[in-house]
Structure formats: C-alpha cells, structure tokens
Structure 1
C-alpha cells in the first residue's frame, strides 16, 4: 500500500496493494524522532515502510510498488527476515522529512548521497551511480551537450524539484532565471516538447525510462500527451558533471534515520552479499540499469558525504 502526502500535510491515502495505511501526526521537519529499535520493530511486524517519490525507474506504483530500488530493498529485507514492503508515496523534497518524522522507515527512491543530505539522514553504501543527461527538442537546435553549454548559450533548463541538477546547473554558471523547477518528469518532458524550455536535465537512467514509458502511452489528447511529446524530443548522450573543477558522479542509496544505526548496518551487510553474488545488477537490469551503473567497491558513502554538490568525485566509473 502507499500513503500520499503533500509538502505540508497528507492530502489523500493511496492504495498500492492490499490494506489501508494512515499517518497521523506527521512531522515535516528534518530532525529524527526517537522510534526505538526499528530493525526489531519491522522484523516483528514482517513489514517495512519505505518512502518513494513515484520516479521511474527508481520506485513507482504500477499495480504495486515496483522499480529498481524496491527490487533491491525487497531482496535485502527478505534476508533480514522481513517479507513485505509497504510504499509511502511523497514528493521527492519531502522524503527526508518523512523518514525523520517516522512516516516511513527507509527512503527507497534512488536518492543521491551528498553532504547536505548526510547532515540530515544516514545512507547505505551506494546501490548505483549515474551520469547526467539532457533532453532537448528534436535536432538539438541550440547544440547543447552539458550544463556548461547551457550557460554559454543562455538556454533555459528544467530541473526536477529537490534534485541535484539544479545545483549542478548553478555551479556551471546557469543563471537562476534560466532554471525552471518542475514537479514531475512528465512536466519536464512537456516543457521541452512545447518549446517552453530548451532542455530538461536529469540522470540518463531516469530520462531513458521516462521516454520509454511515454512512447508506450496511449493517444494524446487535445493538448498533447506523453506519446506526442516523446516524438518531439531527443535524449543526448550522458555526461559527467564538473563542479569546481572536479567531476561529479551521482550515486544513489537507501536513506535511514540517523538514530537507526543497527538497521543501516544490517542493510549494508546484506547489500554487500547481494553485490558479491552479482544480484544487484540482476535485480535492477529490468529497469534499465547496466554494468556501467554498478559502483566499484572503492566508491563509499563516507566519501560521498564529503561532497557539497551531487555525488562522488569520480568521472565515469571504471568498467
């Protein structure tokens, strides 16, 4: 099942499969509350509540909670004796406040690890690493390639609310008035297709999955729709973002309350086993992940947490 709440409070309750959840007394702030031993609690209940933001291919509702991150989480928690995941759907910007308030126990959204977020929550070791990409109009009329090219041409770029691409663009010199924050992937796609912005910046993985879904959608309505929009755009090759002269590669991980050290340690232990067995790629491949997105053992969360913007200090991962 899934619970859905707005930036300030719950607006509705959404089903993601069997049963109904409510969440009274949600705290939107970022300070973690004391909730006892969460690992023992979820083992006793046989269920773990995970927060997600409906972003393909990371975690979304498709007749149940699916996506690359829930696939990994299910495998990890099954090894911990927890058989079921319950999804709590929230806006991306509300994930940290949600886990800290106790609305759910784990962030299962592919959230990038960075210094600002590490000050508020604890992260598992990285599950994947990804490069950025730009979605542009057919023919790439402004000949864009990366954030630097957006700054040079004074192009406009859409970024997903609370995602790292906004800070990447700012670091490259894109002026704030040229950055348009959108609330969903479809909104970013629509703005590019309609010529309202010159580009939509997100991870290559996300944009690839979004276009595949859009092309499979039904006929467009009078004002257009995803299938029509997808035919009006093109996805440029991925690139490594450079901030202050250092390459950044965003790496995503599960998020926990800082007070849940035993849960995080147990998660990391089982995640390491799955990685050694090659199961992380096996679990995420159906959602478009490849060997290129699998982090090397040397990519560690402790290092990612020292980075002010985005992810790690590497370029493309060694193959």
Structure 2
C-alpha cells in the first residue's frame, strides 16, 4: 500500500497468524453456508438480491471500509514480511476505493477455491485476488472490467529441453506432464487444447507447483508469465526458466485466458459501474501501470479499452 498515504491501514492487531486463522474461519463459514443452502434449496445471494443496481457502494461509504477477499497469491494480493496486504490487486483496490470515498480496507484471507462461495455467502464485499474472468465464473459473480490482461508461459528446466512454446506443443508431446494450479484457468486451456487429463497435475498453490518441478513430478508448469517470473525471482537458485509469453489459441481462435478483475455479487451493477469509471481513469492516465510495475507487470499487460468484462464473459 502507499506508504505516503494517510489512509488508515487494516489495523495494528492483524498478524500473519491471525490472518491464517481467518482463512480457516472463511473455509468453515463457506462450508456452513453451503450446508444452509443445501437445506433451503437456494444460496444466500439468491435470498438477498438487491433491485435497481444494488446499494453496495452506499453501504461501504457509510461503513467507511470494504472487506476484500484474497488468496495470498503473489504478485496479486499477498502478505508481505510485516503481514501487511500488498500486491498488484491490493494496490489497485487501494487507489480505486480511495477515489470512491471508502477509506479503509479490511483484508479477509481465503483459499482461492473458496473466494466465490465466500463472496456469495457474504463473508466479504469484493474479491480482489487477480481472478481471471471466465464464462463459468461470470455465471456466479459480476466482474469489473479487467485490471490486467496477462500472457501465458511455462516454467521449464533450463534450456527448455521439450521445446515448449504454446499449449499446442504440450498437447502434441505425449511425454510432457503438465502442472497447473487448482482452480486456475490454465487447466481449462490445457484440456481445450487437447492435453489429456491424465497428464495434468493440479497443485494447491504456486510454491507447491515450483516444488513439483524441482522434484521432477511434472515437466512444465503453466501459469501467467507474470506469476512465473515473480516466483522464479524468489527461487533464483533453481535450475529453471520461464518461456516467452504467448497468447492461447483454441480451435484456431485466440482466447483471453488471463484477464484479471475484481468480483462482486451479480446484483451490484451500480457498484461495478462506479468502480469501472475510476479504474478506466487510472488506466488512461498511466497511473494503473505505475502501480503495477513493481509487481512485474508491463505495458503489454495493460488491458485495451475495448476489453470489457462483458466481452470476456461472452467468449
């Protein structure tokens, strides 16, 4: 977060251990919400839909704070060495909510797979985890326009002995075992590209995927080039490299696989419109990229104005 800003921080009582306890609480609460939904036959968001575009922004301004669900995944939203929330999405949220008149951010840690259920159960107000927009997710939440549009890459042994450049290369080589992150879009891209499920290993998080590479469990890991380059900088001793960025092509058509955005419940259209106005201002002024650069983002990752959430949801 911006050190020069007088904006209140999440609070002096937040510790790394406390946040981890919070993550467990999120998991339990999501499970409880799921049980309640099963008994009632509908989810909490269905019971509490707000008409006329929703009142989320009004409620956040009255409260003076916003609860942001995050998955502790660098370089998007994660805890630094002082247990403070940082990362690309955290910085963007800080700037946008400051412009929207919401002065305090309350980080709520969660497993990545529990973010959407947690949002729908009311455990936080918004997901801010660099979550990729996908048609499946669009059916469950309402996305803001993308804050980034990342290219894909592979983590491979130095020298790239399998000569992997795109997912089509993985599909064509029956000896390549591919690693992806649980719940990440790369698994879908791999399967749509013809990579058999038997050759795909799903890892819980980025560190375990790197360990899987080092331990020889997989021959490559698919993720955004941003995430892989960030992770490799933390393991400079590893005999690994990141391939050149590429844009996936499925059925002969380029697809937008990693356009990351914030998410709210589907009834909050007024909030998304207000958020998008401020996000577009940051993008068009160059301020968005300035905030993203320290986390490994480049001009190539800034979304084009025509790349909207609605367009990505329709692909």
Q: TM-score range by the shorter chain?
A: 0.7 to 0.9
After superposition, residues 125-144 of structure 1 pair within 5 angstroms as 125-144=145-164
User: Could you say which residue in structure 2 is the equivalent of 1:5?
Assistant: 24
Match of 1:92 among 98, 105, 112: 112
User: Could you say which residue in structure 2 is the equivalent of 1:146?
Assistant: 166
* Contact preservation (8 Å) 1:158, 1:201: yes
Evaluate the alpha carbon distance shift between residue 8 and residue 52 of structure 1 in structure 2; reply closer, same or farther with a 3 A threshold. closer
**Secondary structure at 2:129 match in 1:** coil
Cα deviation, residue 274, structure 1: 1.6
* Contact preservation (8 Å) 2:179, 2:201: yes
User: Could you say which residue in structure 2 is the equivalent of 1:299?
Assistant: 307
* Contact preservation (8 Å) 1:34, 1:259: no
CA deviations over 1:44-76 (Å, ceiling 9, x no partner): 221101111111111111121100011011101
- Once residues 129 and 287 of structure 1 are traced to their aligned partners in structure 2, the CA distance between those partners, rounded to angstroms, is 14
Match of 1:61 among 72, 79, 88: 79
Bigger shift: residues 271-280 or 60-69:
271-280
Cα deviation, residue 139, structure 1: 2.3
* Contact preservation (8 Å) 2:26, 2:118: no
Q: Does 1:244 align with 2:265?
A: no
TM-score by length of 1: 0.83
- Once residues 145 and 250 of structure 2 are traced to their aligned partners in structure 1, the CA distance between those partners, rounded to angstroms, is 23
- Once residues 105 and 259 of structure 1 are traced to their aligned partners in structure 2, the CA distance between those partners, rounded to angstroms, is 12
**Secondary structure at 2:154 match in 1:** strand
**Secondary structure at 1:51 match in 2:** strand
Instruction: State how many pairs are aligned.
Output: 281
- Structure 1: runs of 5+ lacking an equivalent: 11-22, 216-227, 308-319
Superposition RMSD on alpha carbons, in Å?
2.0
Bigger shift: residues 51-60 or 269-278:
269-278
* Contact preservation (8 Å) 1:107, 1:254: yes
- Structure 2: runs of 5+ lacking an equivalent: 1-13, 38-42
CA deviations over 1:270-298 (Å, ceiling 9, x no partner): 11222222211111111111111011111
- Once residues 221 and 288 of structure 2 are traced to their aligned partners in structure 1, the CA distance between those partners, rounded to angstroms, is 28
- Once residues 180 and 46 of structure 1 are traced to their aligned partners in structure 2, the CA distance between those partners, rounded to angstroms, is 43
**Secondary structure at 1:9 match in 2:** helix
CA deviations over 1:19-67 (Å, ceiling 9, x no partner): xxxx996458776252763222211221101111111111111121100
Cα deviation, residue 239, structure 1: 1.0
- Once residues 95 and 196 of structure 1 are traced to their aligned partners in structure 2, the CA distance between those partners, rounded to angstroms, is 28
User: Could you say which residue in structure 2 is the equivalent of 1:19?
Assistant: none
Bigger shift: residues 30-39 or 123-132:
30-39
User: Could you say which residue in structure 2 is the equivalent of 1:208?
Assistant: 229
After superposition, residues 54-203 of structure 1 pair within 5 angstroms as 54-62=72-80, 63-154=83-174, 155-203=176-224
CA deviations over 1:95-117 (Å, ceiling 9, x no partner): 11111111111110111112111
* Contact preservation (8 Å) 1:26, 1:102: no
User: Could you say which residue in structure 2 is the equivalent of 1:273?
Assistant: 281
- Once residues 31 and 61 of structure 2 are traced to their aligned partners in structure 1, the CA distance between those partners, rounded to angstroms, is 23
CA deviations over 1:197-252 (Å, ceiling 9, x no partner): 0001000001111111233xxxxxxxxxxxx5xx2211111111111211123211
After superposition, residues 275-290 of structure 1 pair within 5 angstroms as 275-290=283-298
Q: Does 1:34 align with 2:28?
A: no
User: Could you say which residue in structure 2 is the equivalent of 1:263?
Assistant: 271
Bigger shift: residues 25-34 or 130-139:
25-34
TM-score by length of 2: 0.84
